[in-house]
Structure 1
Amino acid sequence: MRIYKIFTDYAKEEKWLNEMANEGYEVVSTGCGYKFKNITPEDAVYKIDFRTFKSKNDFLDYCTMFEDCGWKHISGTKSSGKQYFKKISDDGDDDIFSDNMSRAARYKRASEVWGSLACCYLALLVCFSINGVVNINALFNPKELYFTPGLWEMTGLSFVRAFLFETPFAIGRGFIWLAFPIGMMIYFYFSVKSKKLYKETKKNEI
């Protein structure tokens, strides 16, 4: 079973994963949505951290450290950011964070990553604007995106075939750049939201 959801609040995401396990679904991957497998319902404990690593060895050492403390790494890669852990030992701590500041720090790291991505998209958008890739006129006159000779003089089935054939190419050449401002706004929102959660979590008592 695969479920598509988006969380910025890791505490709410952890609670949801725990509830899914209680209903008999264990998360096995989180790359493209949440992939679950059927299990016997259990009172599981999931925790989420946010970290990226420069090398694979650093990432493996990070995972091993938690496994030694009774937490199994469920999902995440060295560059994915979000790292998912499940408690597998009754002798282990009830949390992967030692204090409230370390719990809040994951949001700070996430905010910095999202902010960097937003800046990258902004830089790309500026470059495309300078190089003429961004065609604002196409928003008001999409006909200029169609290069088929005599397209608008055609009639009947010939027009329909030619129009449908070229439309995907016209959309690509005229509106693909819109992905960058949209992506920039999404990343900026995640950055601001994570920053807010960082400040809120610091104020909360453990």
Structure 2
Amino acid sequence: MRKFNFFLNFEKEENWLNQMAAEGFEFVGKSMGYRFRSAKPENSNIKIDYRTFKNHADFVDYCTLFEDYGWKHIAGTKSSGAQYLKKVRGDADNDIFSDADSKAGRYKRLSQMYIGIAACYLPIFAALIATGAIDAAFLFNPKKLYFTPGLWEKAGTDFWGSFLFETPFALFRAATWTLLPIMTILFFIFSYKADQHYKKIMR
């Protein structure tokens, strides 16, 4: 079973995954959504860390370290960022973090990731405008989205036929041209929210 969800709060995501386990759905991976399989309901303890690794050996050492302390790595890759760990030994600590600094650090790394992506998108968007690939004037004049010569001088059925024919293409252009700035704004917002979570824990 696959479920789609989005979280900027690791605690809420952990609670959701543990609730799914209590309902008989075991979390087995995350790729294009959360993947679950039917299992016996259990009171699981899943925790989430956020970090990437320069090489595979460092990633393996990270997973092995947690396994030694009674936590099984159940999802996440060397470069995915989010690492999902499940308590599998009764004598293991109930949390993977030993203090507030380490627990808050995952939000700081998440914030930096989002702002890094947003910072990459900005020059790309500027370059597309500078080269004419995107006509930013359409934001103030939607008629720029229509390329049919003389469209706005036509009248009657001639106008409506041309207008209705090109409107799907114009809407597609609008969606394509606004996707990059919208994503950039969203990533800045996500970065800000993650930073707020970091500051809240560090208070």
Question: TM-score scaled to structure 1, two decimals?
Answer: 0.84
Structure 2 residue 189 is the aligned partner of structure 1 residue 189: yes
- Structure 2, unmatched stretches of 5+, are none
Residue correspondence of structure 1 range 22-61 to structure 2 within 5 A: 22-61=22-61
Residue correspondence of structure 1 range 91-170 to structure 2 within 5 A: 91-139=91-139, 140-142=141-143, 145-146=146-147, 163=165, 170=170
* 2:72 aligned residue: 72
What letter matches 1:121 in structure 2? Y
Structure 2 CA distance for partners of 1:175 and 1:24, relative to 1, 3 Å: closer
Structure 2 CA distance for partners of 1:54 and 1:167, relative to 1, 3 Å: farther
SS in 1 for 2:28: strand
How much does 1:55 deviate? Answer: 1.3
Segment of structure 1 superposing worse, 193-202 or 131-140? 131-140
Q: 1:145 touches 1:173 (CA, 8 Å); kept in 2?
A: no
Q: Which whole-Å deviations, capped at 9, do the CAs of 1:132-170 have from their partners, x for residues lacking one?
A: 12213445344754469x9x89x79xx59x93xx76655
SS in 2 for 1:49: strand
Segment of structure 1 superposing worse, 191-200 or 72-81? 72-81
SS in 1 for 2:6: coil
Question: CA–CA distance in 2 between the matches of 1:54 and 1:185?
Answer: 28
How much does 1:91 deviate? Answer: 2.2
What letter matches 1:200 in structure 2? K
Q: 1:105 touches 1:198 (CA, 8 Å); kept in 2?
A: yes
Number of positions where the alignment pairs a residue of Structure 1 with one of Structure 2 = 200
SS in 2 for 1:181: helix
Structure 2 residue 21 is the aligned partner of structure 1 residue 21: yes
Q: Runs of 4 or more off by more than 6 Å in structure 1?
A: none
- Structure 1, unmatched stretches of 5+, are none
* 2:84 aligned residue: 84
Segment of structure 1 superposing worse, 104-113 or 53-62? 53-62
Segment of structure 1 superposing worse, 174-183 or 11-20? 174-183
SS in 1 for 2:18: helix
The share of aligned pairs that are identical, in percent, is: 46
SS in 1 for 2:31: coil
* 1:198 aligned residue: 198
Across the aligned residues of Structure 1 and Structure 2, the Cα RMSD in angstroms comes to: 2.7
How much does 1:126 deviate? Answer: 1.3
Q: Which whole-Å deviations, capped at 9, do the CAs of 1:96-126 have from their partners, x for residues lacking one?
A: 1111110011001111111111111112111
